[in-house]
Chains A and B, each alone.
Chain A
Amino acid sequence: MAHGNHNIEITNQQFEFTSKQKMFSYILIVLGIVLLAVGYLTGKNESTATHATATEHVVTAEAAAPEHAEEHGDLNTKRLWANLLLGAYYTFLLGCGGLFFVAVKNVANAGWHVGFMRIPQAMSAYLPLGAIFLVLIGGVWGVGISHYYHWSLPGVTEKGSANYDKILAGKSAFLNVWFYCGALPVFFAIWYYIQNRLKVWSNAEDNDNPNLSAGGDITNTKWYDKSVAASAFWIFFFGFTFSITAWLVIMSIDAHWFSTIFSIYNFAVLWVSTLASIHLLLIYLKAQGYFKHVNDEHKHDLGKFMFAFTIFWTYIWVSQYLLIWYANLSEEVVYYNARWTSHYMPYFIANLLLNFLTPFLILMTRNNKRNPNTVIIAGAAILIGKWNDLYLMIMPGVTGDYGSIFGMMEFGSIFLFFGMFLYVFFNALSKEKLAPVNHPYIKESVLHDVGV
């Protein structure tokens, strides 16, 4: 408990990446690949029966804007691709979210989070790998090889071609392979550069001020000041480039449809799932005996964050839904029509239950925010709910009604990517000191007290 006397104890622990955790990540990865393979090979048989209904649904649902009116190709492979894109995008969001957490706290001069700052920092280590997977799966495979993005079909912009589409031709200055495979990697490279700088400076800071552990005070904030400046630039840059990423990777799956709130909606997904992941990882690592200097006060504030941004997500979700529902314009309504009057309806309802009602009701009281068990339930609901949310964004546009069959491929993709994410996370965490011992705000963080 935070008494007035300021004797702080930061046990200078080092996280050890045990063989058990390594094995767990490997098993997840292998299981993911096996499930994807088995799901893909056995999935072919069911495609004929569902194909007819799927096409029928899509045609009625999208009579106004004849998207996907061309033949459907191999739905099974499309479903595999959509699942891989979902997994790659989801874990990529968590990587961005870790960096955003660190950056936004730097810019806000916040101190309470410093004790567990290494968790979001280690999450952001997945950023480069996640970006590579996203560009490979979305760009090289989805745009370049198989044209799963409707706008990437050959001849879409050529008059007279069977695939010619006037609307998409008008959007082709943005929706093209060069933007996807050229500009996006440049953005991601800049993000990675900032992520790498923040990590390097933070490590340099750890070894720079040896006075603090001997009871002295921090006088040198050189590394921290640099991080604040870099974070401020990155947040500004990220705001624009993340919007472009969300439009290109996810929104352009339904290339005729558009929503001006879509990028902030994707950001809400990113931020809420990041907060839930940080909290769950913190609970896990504390149970392993790490992070002794992080206590219920920090967890309480993380819980408040989860609670608050759950409502933020809902606000954005309702804003997008309500305006489209009320205006009833056919080119906008197709999007919700394909998700409501189809086999996706249960997912649509589950979306609100998992992402809003469950965490909202569970995290409402003070004691529930401080109790690891209730937080684990709420956090799991959020993480599953965000998967469900991304599934609803991606799957109907790629496969029509066919993909709403829930099976091995869905599990496989998530296992594969979360296995890799966990491996990178634990590996990055084991390379740094668990507490940034010379951070200017480490004292404030250890003494943090929410007051109630």
Chain B
Amino acid sequence: MRKNRKFIYGVFNHPDDILNAAYAVRSTRNQILDCFTPFAVHGLDRAMNVKRSRLGIVAFCMGLTGFLLAVSLQYYTNVFDWPMNIGGKPAQLAVPTFVPVCFELTVLCTAYGMGITFFLRARTIFGVRETVLEARQSDDHFIMCFDMENKHLNIDEVTNLMKQNGALDVKQVEMMAGVK
């Protein structure tokens, strides 16, 4: 669902600046909505108090799917439907022969599943439109964004904190955006 929302954001020039600003904000009651950076800034997740990603759970489910797919495929084709004798190995259930296919299908399903889940969740997959807050966020600048409808947000305080920590400018915008 998309609706009209108001944001306040600061633009930073250096990863250290946004990291310091995030630590400064963390010691107040204000809550950062999100940060947009051209590359992964180490430690920023911790500074923003971001909850641990649940991508690992997705990875496990995807891996299990791939494993079960591999087992059932091989069982059906090699044991149930048309038992095959290759190299005199037991036709019933030659477990070692199952290993490579299980391994590969587990890896394949985990990798693709995690990738697609991530793109879906980050709204960057083909066919999904996401509002761009500030053109520089996809170039070489670091954006820290607050939701102005948050009751705990003290606009003056976050503006000052961002400026003190080297924000080039602090802006307020109103735009159509997705709601969590």
A and B interact: yes
- A residues with a Cβ closer than 8 A to B are 1-6, 318, 321-322, 325-328, 449-452
Complex CA–CA separation, A1 to B43 (angstroms):
9
Question: Is B159's CB within 8 Å of the partner chain A?
Answer: no
Given contacts A450-B42, A451-B40, A452-B45, A326 and B20 within 8 Å (CB-CB): no
Within 8 Å by CB of A327, from B46, B87, B97, lies B87
Cβ contact within 8 Å between A326 and B42: no
Closest chain-B Cβ to A348's Cβ sits at a distance in Å of: 13
Sample of 12 further A-B pairs with CB below 8 A, known A4-B15, A6-B16: A1-B43, A1-B46, A2-B42, A3-B20, A4-B16, A4-B19, A4-B23, A322-B100, A328-B89, A451-B40, A451-B44, A452-B45
- B residues with a Cβ closer than 8 A to A are 15-17, 19-20, 23, 40, 42-46, 52-53, 87-89, 96-97, 99-100
Closest chain-A Cβ to B114's Cβ sits at a distance in Å of: 15
Considering only CB atoms, which chain A residue lies closest to B87 in the complex?
Answer: A328
Cβ contact within 8 Å between A4 and B96: no
Within 8 Å by CB of B88, from A3, A4, A322, A328, lies A328
Cβ contact within 8 Å between B87 and A3: no
8 CB-based A-B contacts, threshold 8 Å: A3-B19, A4-B15, A4-B17, A322-B100, A328-B87, A328-B88, A451-B44, A451-B45
Chain B residues whose CB sits within 8 angstroms of the CB of A322 once the complex forms: 96-97, 99-100
Chain A residues whose CB sits within 8 angstroms of the CB of B97 once the complex forms: 322, 326
Main SS at interface, chain B: helix
Main SS at interface, chain A: loop
Considering only CB atoms, which chain A residue lies closest to B19 in the complex?
Answer: A4
Within 8 Å by CB of A321, from B40, B88, B96, lies B96
Cβ contact within 8 Å between A3 and B23: yes
Within 8 Å by CB of A318, from B16, B45, B53, B99, lies B99
Considering only CB atoms, which chain B residue lies closest to A315 in the complex?
Answer: B103
Given contacts A3-B19, A328-B87, A451 and B99 within 8 Å (CB-CB): no
Considering only CB atoms, which chain A residue lies closest to B18 in the complex?
Answer: A4
Complex CA–CA separation, A234 to B15 (angstroms):
37
Considering only CB atoms, which chain B residue lies closest to A451 in the complex?
Answer: B42
Chain B residues whose CB sits within 8 angstroms of the CB of A6 once the complex forms: 16
